[in-house]
């Protein structure tokens, strides 16, 4: 059976999509560098998890234009994606690579693996020597996260061993903060201080042994905003890169802009009377005649079902409540107070519409989770697109 094909492509904005503002990424990097970092401190843009749901390659390009000098990814595939996309700056694989085949790909694609044990170091050395080159690596040290990294007591011998391996270049030593985003209640400060002291102690020992450790880095976004003493040579900026604070009590540079705008089309507008159940389970029953709009997005796209009846959308800057259970592909909104809303119009679920803004923190607070999970939860059936002009969105042209 032949299928018709006139060469026309589907409009990526025909249903639901994510608008990504590259200029917001560029601006956020510049702002963090100018207002938070000392002159000698560099910025690594963390673009793992597909750039926190924004599209890793587009984010990396924009961050580089803003002044990011390195990139952090979680997986080998994420690093290779950047290389294939033309990113030539240093890329650190933050996750643990445990087999020789994966480490060989780091050599091939010039990615920096994270080393946490001697076996990894020996594998990398042998592979680099076989390829006739040196491989830049970073040593990770566990100072209190109890996740990845060599135990603190074993870090100095491992660093010494790496320096003796001719195929390796120790390009960095780092650790990760466990509670830098915690409230200023004493405990978070105490844990962060202990980690900083442990890290500084190791760095002093490395210096005493004349071990060249490359870039020293400890601070994530929370550490970057919390205390300049945590910055060292490099900071690894994730959530703040995308325009959000890791915690409400951490002051962010004025002017950080959310880069992601989640939008969807209204596909049907209908009227119902009082006493009518809406969506699965009839958990919502209308108390009055209502004008309902069906929006073409649901939990299969990454809108948590837990938000049912607890979220709002924006239409031309006006807030409209969501009603009934969020379904796999649709959700319903009460458009009774918005007589000009029609099928084909665009609504905004996260991001800006006119002067109004909806933040992922509003969703995460309702769901008992964190903004990171919200942003990383948007599925790949949502196209990531360069942000349209605000007036085009407001007029329903996109």
Place of tokens 């400890």: 218
Task: Note whether 248 and 15 are within 8 A (CB).
Answer: no
- The residues, any chain, with a CB within 8 Å of residue 166's CB and separated by 6 or more, are 125, 129, 134
- For residue 150, give the 3-state DSSP assignment: strand
Place of tokens 């000009």: 340
Torsion of CA 11, 16, 21, 22, to 10 degrees: -60
- Structural element, H or E, at residue 16: strand 16-20
Backbone dihedral region for residue 344 (phi beyond 0: left; psi -120 to 50: alpha; all else: beta): left
174: nearest Cα among 121, 230, 239: 230
Residue 174 a catalytic site member: no
DSSP 229: G
Strand 290-295 and strand 331-334: the pairing is antiparallel
Catalytic residue among 52, 140, 174, 280: 280
For residues 31 and 43, what is the distance between their CA atoms, to the nearest angstrom? 11
Residue 140 a catalytic site member: no
Residues classed as catalytic = 48, 280
């Amino acid at each position: 059976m032949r299928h018709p094909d006139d060469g026309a492509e589907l409009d990526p904005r025909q249903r639901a999509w994510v608008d990504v503002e590259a200029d917001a990424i560029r601006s956020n990097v510049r702002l963090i560098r100018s207002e938070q970092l000392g002159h000698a401190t560099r910025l690594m843009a963390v673009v793992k998890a597909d750039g926190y749901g924004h599209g890793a390659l587009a984010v990396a390009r924009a961050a580089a234009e803003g002044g990011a000098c390195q990139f952090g990814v979680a997986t080998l595939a994420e690093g290779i994606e950047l290389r294939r996309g033309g990113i030539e700056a240093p890329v650190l694989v933050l996750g643990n690579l445990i087999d020789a085949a994966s480490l060989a790909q780091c050599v091939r694609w010039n990615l920096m693996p994270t080393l946490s044990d001697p076996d990894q170091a020996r594998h990398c050395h042998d592979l680099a020597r076989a390829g006739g080159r040196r491989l830049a690596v970073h040593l990770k040290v566990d100072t209190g996260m109890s996740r990845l990294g060599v135990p603190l007591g074993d870090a100095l011998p491992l660093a010494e061993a790496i320096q003796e391996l001719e195929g390796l270049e120790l390009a960095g030593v780092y650790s990760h903060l466990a509670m830098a985003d915690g409230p200023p209640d004493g405990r978070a400060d105490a844990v962060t201080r202990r980690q900083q002291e442990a890290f500084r102690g190791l760095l002093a020992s490395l210096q005493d042994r004349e071990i060249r450790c490359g870039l020293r880095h400890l601070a994530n976004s929370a550490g970057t905003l919390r205390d300049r003493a945590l910055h060292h040579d490099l900071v690894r900026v994730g959530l703040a890169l995308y325009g959000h604070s890791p915690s409400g009590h951490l002051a962010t540079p004025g002017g950080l802009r959310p880069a992601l705008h989640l939008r969807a089309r209204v596909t049907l507008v209908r009227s119902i009377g009082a006493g009518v159940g809406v969506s699965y389970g009839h958990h919502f029953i209308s108390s009055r005649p209502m004008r309902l709009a069906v929006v073409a997005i649901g939990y299969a796209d990454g809108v948590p079902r837990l938000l049912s009846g607890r979220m709002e959308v924006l239409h031309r800057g006006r807030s409209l409540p969501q009603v009934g259970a969020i379904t796999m592909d649709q959700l319903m909104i009460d458009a009774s107070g918005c007589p000009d809303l029609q099928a084909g119009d665009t609504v905004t679920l996260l991001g800006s519409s006119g002067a109004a803004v909806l933040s992922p923190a509003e969703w995460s607070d309702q769901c008992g989770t964190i903004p990171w999970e919200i942003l990383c939860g948007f599925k790949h059936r949502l196209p990531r697109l360069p942000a349209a002009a605000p007036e085009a969105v407001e007029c329903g042209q996109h």
